[in-house]
């Protein structure tokens, strides 16, 4: 029996506020994260994802406080990413109320950290965030045509995104947050080619992210292989019933939703 598709709002948090831009640039304020989390919980969101977009600045205590306050207000699963470097950060996030931790840059720099975290806490708490983009002209091509990026999509690594997803799955991640840097914030739809390629490479759940602009964009991502769909702008600035519209679109396409 197929598992129900999850719909997940994403809150990009910067210095205690939710922000959103296009291709990770031109960020604008979208509100208080705890208030938005409460709103999405009431609207029927299945999970929430917080990404600290300025974690490298060292302002982590703000995020820990946001996690704590959110966990006190809402009771759906909460994934937190940004600045997660190892077991210590995951432990602290879980103690502050997160259910799962998302890792990106630290895993690219030292893949063994995936094994360490999954052994310590179990794979169910670890989400690999893959910020993938098509290789740029003049850059080293990858076998799939997609490369892993870090630092909010600004830094290319030359690592093939599909091979990286496969390696991370073998190392023990619980699921993959697959974000298309090319589609992020464009509202033109998910990168279906990217989803299909990763789906063919791994068996772990895939959360598709990047590009949703209307409810009709969500079912094709599920058809392409996504187990969950994540979006930000469409929920932040859409009508109050956008969550129900998205779920109905997925349901009308023949998929079960929570």
CA distance linking residue 244 with residue 85, whole number of Å: 36
Beta bridge partners of 81: 51, 102
- Phi, psi for 123 (deg, rounded to 5): -65, -20
What residues act catalytically? Answer: 12, 131
Angle between helices 87-95 and 112-121 (to 10 degrees): 40
Of the candidates 168, 137, 166, 133, the one whose C-alpha atom is nearest the C-alpha of residue 147 is 133
Per DSSP bridges, beta strands 48-52 and 6-14 are parallel
Under DSSP, the state recorded for 5 is B
């Amino acid at each position: 029996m197929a598992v129900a598709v999850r719909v997940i709002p994403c809150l990009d948090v910067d210095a205690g506020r939710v922000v959103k831009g296009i291709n990770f640039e031109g960020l604008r304020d979208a509100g208080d994260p705890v208030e938005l989390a409460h709103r999405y919980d009431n609207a029927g969101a299945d999970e929430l994802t917080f990404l600290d977009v300025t974690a490298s600045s060292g302002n982590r205590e703000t995020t820990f406080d946001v996690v704590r306050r959110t966990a006190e207000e809402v009771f759906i699963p909460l994934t937190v990413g940004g600045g997660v470097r190892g077991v210590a950060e995951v432990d602290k996030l879980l103690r502050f109320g997160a259910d799962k931790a998302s890792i990106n840059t630290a895993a690219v720099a030292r893949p063994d950290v995936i094994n360490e975290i999954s052994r310590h806490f179990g794979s169910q708490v670890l989400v690999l965030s893959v910020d993938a983009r098509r290789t740029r002209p003049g850059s080293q091509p990858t076998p799939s045509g997609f490369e892993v990026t870090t630092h909010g999509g600004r830094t290319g690594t030359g690592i093939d995104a599909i091979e990286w997803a496969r390696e991370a799955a073998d190392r023990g991640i619980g699921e993959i947050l697959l974000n298309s840097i090319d589609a992020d914030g464009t509202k033109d739809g998910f990168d279906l080619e990217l989803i299909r390629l990763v789906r063919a490479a791994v068996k772990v759940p895939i959360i598709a992210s990047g590009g949703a602009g209307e409810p009709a964009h969500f079912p094709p991502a599920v058809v392409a292989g996504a187990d969950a769909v994540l979006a930000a702008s469409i929920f932040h600035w859409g009508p109050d019933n956008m969550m129900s519209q998205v779920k109905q679109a997925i349901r009308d396409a023949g998929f079960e939703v929570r």
